[in-house]
Chain A
Amino acid sequence: MLLQKSAKERNPLMNRHSISDTNILLYITFAVFVVMYAAAIIFLGSGFLKPQTFFSILNENAALIILSCGMSIVMISGGIDISVGAVTALVCMSCAVNLDFNGGSVLTAILLALFVGLMFGLVQGFLVAYLEVQPFIVTLAGMFFAKGMTTIVNSTQFNVVHEGFQKLKSTRINIPGMGSYNKLGIVVPAYVEIGVIVAIITVVVLFMVLRWTKLGRNFYAVGGNSQSANMLGINVKRTKFLAHILCGLLAGIGGFVYFLHVGSGSPSHASGAEMNAIASSIIGGTMLTGGVGNIIGTFFGVLSLSTIKNIVSSLGLDEAWWTNITVAAMICLFLLIQSVVLSRKNKNKL
């Protein structure tokens, strides 16, 4: 008892009430988002004050939220998956072809999306977990395979005209009490699309899975130190396999949500989405070295990223390059913060 107490006094990390370094990342993310949004309201006028601006950000980024969740899980378990963007494009294209040319229904399209995502997760997970190939190389190959397959399925962009799908696409869920008045004084209700509901359900479910289930804790254990996880009796290979399957499945779901938002199939869809997903996860406090991360953080990471994009475009710097440069600068900043946090953590260990 005495020994324990002295250990606590010596090492601040063992004290539960002090903020641990990994939580700092989450708080930084949250603070950045709030500060950025507040700055946008103050300097860019009332546009950002409208609730609909916020909901539009959600509508546009529902797919990215889902993709980033998958990415976070893989990153927490110590891997990386850069194929999600290309898989999204492939899912969009196959669903579009299925609906318009092959006489499919919305249900078959959803099943197809899930199937494509799951297959990518299965194959990549098998290669990474059981054959121990570097995840980056495997998913790089997966990305190129998906890119190529998208053009093989159909090489041109086209809009989907399927009736049932159009109905689903234009479904809007109004949020009471959040509407705004337009110039004529008529109330315009604030709305979200179905994709946002799916995204929020995904975030909540995954948060609970990572927090309270054995599988979720295994992801952290394997990512933190796979050798000690192995000694604790955790099946490391199976955990990594499951992480990739989950990520693939989420890429399928995210792909369908993206498809629902844009309503077309194109080889250039979601290009660079994997980079945005990685960036969101990093901004959200997921450590690249594995073992640290939080789905809520990822959620705010996506919001921060899209807020900064909105700010950049409403500042009048709408030449395409500024967005990419600011995003890169943000990734750089958060990587440096992580690096500092990590070196502090290592110092505390010694």
Chain B
Amino acid sequence: MASFKSASQESAAKRIGSFLAKLVKHQIFIPIAALLILVIFNLIADPSFFAISLDQNSLGNPVFSGYLITILDNASELVILAIGMTLVTAASGGQDISVGSAIAISGSVMLRVLCGTNSRPEVLQAPIIVAFLVCCVVAMLFGAFNGTLVAIFKIQPMVATLILFTAGRSVAAWINKNELPIISDASFGYYGNFIPGIPIPTPIFIAVACMILIALVLKFTNLGLYTQSVGINANSSRLNGIDPALIKFITFVILGLCVAVAGFIKVSRFSTINYSVIAKDIEMDAILAVALGGNALNGGKFNMGASILGAYVIQFLTTTLYKFNVVSSALPAYKAVVVIILVVLSAPIVRDKITETWKKLAPVKIAKEAS
């Protein structure tokens, strides 16, 4: 009986060991490990970080508050962008650096439609859904512009999107004639803050809806397969009947749609827009999310779940840094260090070195276990 018990224990230990080994090799391990490090760090530094309380906000509605809610809430735009950025990265082997500027444009279009000619209207000049649809169309057009440059003119994605990156915020200011429209209608703020009676921030719902949508798209269409095959080898995909240009173009248009949704949330948070500040440096965070998810930045295979988790980890890091009173303008320096560590660890050469040393060490370990 006793021997049976020990044997089952042994096999369980082995199973756990093999599960751990698999996990370490799995792509999603990197963001999970980063998340765990952050959680442990915060637990040690200040356990009250994880406290969630039910408070009343200024409008008298009961809302959840706490750092965790803030993280989930503020990460929404980043998560939505990470979805599109992952597809673009996989298909074209480059990143779109114009998402921040494009958010400024789509937000500006949104406000323009809602406000009409008056920059401070008493009532909305158009239904929110119409404004949102117009904003989607415009953002997709700009995505199509980037996509055309990349897919048809074969310009490197980062350089092609440099055009919109340079001009985007200026275009956004131009759309509203450099005025700062303010929307006084409370219902517009629901999408970026809280719907009365629901204690969870609305952006979380929007982000979850986007995740479900992309999961369904990846499950029931060939989009995921095609983007990966184009990213791995565009020429052989072409020979197999996939049009690489079309696939790249589609990924950029999808990113445009993501930008429109993210821009909608961003504008709704404050009911106004500041062209030079809105979504500033978000392109860096979106690229970082993709990199943190362990996706190859030069195209090919991707893991959507890992990217989304990566986006949450980045917001976790940002919020942690804010909590420790890091000035917002000094934030990039810390993030840059994280990026450098990540890219160095995920560089193929470094990985090969690590596996080599691991192999050298492994026989010793096995011998020890045997004895």
Query: Given that A275-B166, A328-B164 are known contacts, is A145 also in contact with B337, CB under 8 Å in the complex?
Result: yes
Contacting pair A140 B340 (CB below 8 A): no
Instruction: Answer yes or no: A278 CB below 8 A from chain B CBs.
Output: yes
Residue among B162, B164, B284 with the highest chain A CB neighbour number at 10 A: B162
What are 20 of the A-B contact pairs (CB < 8 Å)?
A: A131-B349, A138-B343, A141-B339, A147-B329, A151-B327, A152-B330, A275-B165, A278-B162, A279-B162, A321-B170, A321-B173, A324-B166, A324-B169, A325-B167, A325-B174, A328-B164, A331-B162, A332-B149, A335-B160, A336-B153
Q: In the docked arrangement, what's the CA distance between A288 and B154, Å?
A: 11
Of B158, B167, B333, the contact of A136 (CB 8 Å cutoff): B158
Contact pattern, A 307-334, Cβ under 8 Å of B = 1, otherwise 0: 0000000000001111111011101100
Contact pattern, A 109-143, Cβ under 8 Å of B = 1, otherwise 0: 00000000000000000010011111011101111
Q: In the docked arrangement, what's the CA distance between A50 and B331, Å?
A: 46
Give chain B interface residues in 321-344, CB to chain A under 8 Å: 327, 329-337, 339-340, 343-344
Q: In the docked arrangement, what's the CA distance between A111 and B224, Å?
A: 52
Supplied contacts A134-B297, A137-B291, A322-B170, 19 more A-B pairs, CB within 8 Å: A127-B344, A131-B350, A132-B347, A133-B347, A136-B95, A140-B284, A143-B336, A144-B333, A144-B336, A145-B332, A145-B340, A147-B333, A148-B334, A152-B330, A152-B333, A275-B166, A321-B171, A323-B170, A325-B171
Interfacial chain A residues near B155, Cβ < 8 Å: 288, 335, 338-339
Instruction: Answer yes or no: A215 CB below 8 A from chain B CBs.
Output: no
Of A137, A148, A275, A332, the contact of B332 (CB 8 Å cutoff): A148
For chain B, give the interface size range.
Answer: 35 or more
Instruction: Answer yes or no: A57 CB below 8 A from chain B CBs.
Output: no
Q: In the docked arrangement, what's the CA distance between A318 and B161, Å?
A: 25
Instruction: Answer yes or no: A267 CB below 8 A from chain B CBs.
Output: yes
Of B166, B332, B336, B349, the contact of A328 (CB 8 Å cutoff): B166
Instruction: Answer yes or no: B53 CB below 8 A from chain A CBs.
Output: no
The residue in chain B whose Cβ has the minimal distance to the Cβ of A323 is B170
Chain B residues within 8 Å of A, Cβ to Cβ: 94-95, 149, 153-156, 158-160, 162-167, 169-171, 173-174, 178, 281, 284, 287, 291, 297-298, 327, 329-337, 339-340, 343-344, 347-350
Query: Given that A152-B330, A327-B167 are known contacts, is A142 also in contact with B336, CB under 8 Å in the complex?
Result: yes
Q: In the docked arrangement, what's the CA distance between A63 and B357, Å?
A: 46
Contacting pair B327 A155 (CB below 8 A): yes
Instruction: Answer yes or no: A149 CB below 8 A from chain B CBs.
Output: yes
Contacting pair B159 A148 (CB below 8 A): no
Q: How far is the CB of B296 from chain A (nearest CB, A)?
A: 10
Contacting pair B348 A132 (CB below 8 A): yes
Q: How far is the CB of B302 from chain A (nearest CB, A)?
A: 16
Instruction: Answer yes or no: A80 CB below 8 A from chain B CBs.
Output: yes
Interfacial chain A residues near B344, Cβ < 8 Å: 127, 131, 133
The residue in chain B whose Cβ has the minimal distance to the Cβ of A282 is B159
Contacting pair A137 B287 (CB below 8 A): yes
The residue in chain B whose Cβ has the minimal distance to the Cβ of A275 is B166
Q: In the docked arrangement, what's the CA distance between A289 and B330, Å?
A: 34
Interfacial chain A residues near B160, Cβ < 8 Å: 335
Q: In the docked arrangement, what's the CA distance between A267 and B343, Å?
A: 26
The residue in chain B whose Cβ has the minimal distance to the Cβ of A274 is B162
Contacting pair A335 B333 (CB below 8 A): no
Residue among B94, B173, B333 with the highest chain A CB neighbour number at 10 A: B333
Q: In the docked arrangement, what's the CA distance between A77 and B337, Å?
A: 26
Query: Given that A288-B159, A324-B166 are known contacts, is A148 also in contact with B149, CB under 8 Å in the complex?
Result: no
Contact pattern, A 214-246, Cβ under 8 Å of B = 1, otherwise 0: 000000000000000000000000000000000
The residue in chain B whose Cβ has the minimal distance to the Cβ of A147 is B332
Interfacial chain B residues near A331, Cβ < 8 Å: 162-163, 166
Contacting pair B333 A328 (CB below 8 A): no
Of B163, B165, B335, B343, the contact of A144 (CB 8 Å cutoff): B335
Interfacial chain A residues near B333, Cβ < 8 Å: 144-145, 147-149, 151-152
Interfacial chain B residues near A342, Cβ < 8 Å: 154
Contacting pair A127 B335 (CB below 8 A): no
Contacting pair A80 B158 (CB below 8 A): yes
Q: How far is the CB of B281 from chain A (nearest CB, A)?
A: 7
The residue in chain A whose Cβ has the minimal distance to the Cβ of B291 is A137
Query: Given that A155-B327, A324-B167, A331-B162 are known contacts, is A132 also in contact with B336, CB under 8 Å in the complex?
Result: no
Q: How far is the CB of A146 from chain B (nearest CB, A)?
A: 8
In the A-B complex, the 7 residue pairs with the closest CB atoms: A148-B333, A321-B170, A328-B167, A145-B336, A144-B332, A324-B170, A148-B332
Of A133, A145, A321, A328, the contact of B343 (CB 8 Å cutoff): A133
